[in-house]
């Protein structure tokens, strides 16, 4: 048991060390030259690297208290006051950690939308979202999407993600399942890659260590 705990601590330590420069608070531009070793068994590291490669902004949190601390730093740095939260579980999390958000914020007028997810796909650096949990628009129409996930939600591949959703909803798969992999991108105009055209210009993922 002690060996497993020590191994876990080493994994989390490597995440923090590897991501210290690419995404330091207050979330400056990611270094394109930064790279770090990934073991197939270390899903946290694999997701972090692949998500960052897709221009996502990743941050690891040791617990919910650190999550709220990092969110407050982000909100203050960006001067965001209009945060859209549609999920009761996230509101309850913020209440537990004494984070007060303005009420009555519309998605069309918000600075950023905060959602959960069904799971994180390590192999592709994607967040699997469903209409049953986040709704159909929360992660798409806001200028910035902030996703809160836990290490227990990490899976290796797309197949594992679909299996997880099937088990969670035995009476029927949600009507909409989407994958978010960093900010929206298009190269329709003269084959020039542009971000933030059909969706959020920035996507953040805060990964919280499960207890």
Single out the residue of 154, 146, 94 nearest to residue 125, CA to CA. Answer: 154
In the DSSP assignment, the letter for residue 175 is S
- Measured CA to CA, the distance from residue 174 to residue 21 in angstroms comes to 38
Share of the chain above pLDDT 90, in %: 57
pLDDT at residue 162 greater than cutoff 90? yes
- Measured CA to CA, the distance from residue 196 to residue 203 in angstroms comes to 10
pLDDT, residue 134, reads: 79
pLDDT, residue 4, reads: 54
pLDDT, residue 28, reads: 45
DSSP H helices in 54-157: 64-78, 88-96, 131-134
- Give the global pTM: 0.77
pLDDT at residue 38 greater than cutoff 50? no
pLDDT, residue 14, reads: 64
pLDDT at residue 15 greater than cutoff 90? no
| Apex 152 CA angle, 148 and 154, nearest 5 | 75
In the DSSP assignment, the letter for residue 165 is H
Tokens coding 159: 């197949």
- Measured CA to CA, the distance from residue 203 to residue 181 in angstroms comes to 8
Backbone angles phi, psi at 112, to 5 degrees: -160, 155
Lowest mean pLDDT among 90-94, 111-115, 186-190, 201-205: 186-190
pLDDT, residue 88, reads: 93
143 band by pLDDT with thresholds 50, 70 and 90: very high
pLDDT, residue 17, reads: 61
Backbone angles phi, psi at 90, to 5 degrees: -75, -40
């Amino acid at each position: 048991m002690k060996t497993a705990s020590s191994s876990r601590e080493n994994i989390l330590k490597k995440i923090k060390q590897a991501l210290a420069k690419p995404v330091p608070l207050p979330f400056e531009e990611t270094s394109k030259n930064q790279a770090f070793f990934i073991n197939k068994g270390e899903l946290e590291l694999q997701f972090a690297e692949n998500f960052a490669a897709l221009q996502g902004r990743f941050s690891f949190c040791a617990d919910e208290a650190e999550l709220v601390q990092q969110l407050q730093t982000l909100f203050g740095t960006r001067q965001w006051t209009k945060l859209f939260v549609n999920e009761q579980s996230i509101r309850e999390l913020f209440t537990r950690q004494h984070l007060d958000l303005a009420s009555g914020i519309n998605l069309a007028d918000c600075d950023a939308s905060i959602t959960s997810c069904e799971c994180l796909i390590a192999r592709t650096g994607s967040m699997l979202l469903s209409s049953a949990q986040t709704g159909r628009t929360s992660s798409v129409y806001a200028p910035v999407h902030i996703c809160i996930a836990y290490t227990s939600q990490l899976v290796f591949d797309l197949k594992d993600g679909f299996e997880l959703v099937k088990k969670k909803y035995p009476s029927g798969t949600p009507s909409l399942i989407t994958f978010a992999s960093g900010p929206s991108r298009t190269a329709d105009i003269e084959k020039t890659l542009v971000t933030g055209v059909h969706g959020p210009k920035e996507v953040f993922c805060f990964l919280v260590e499960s207890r």
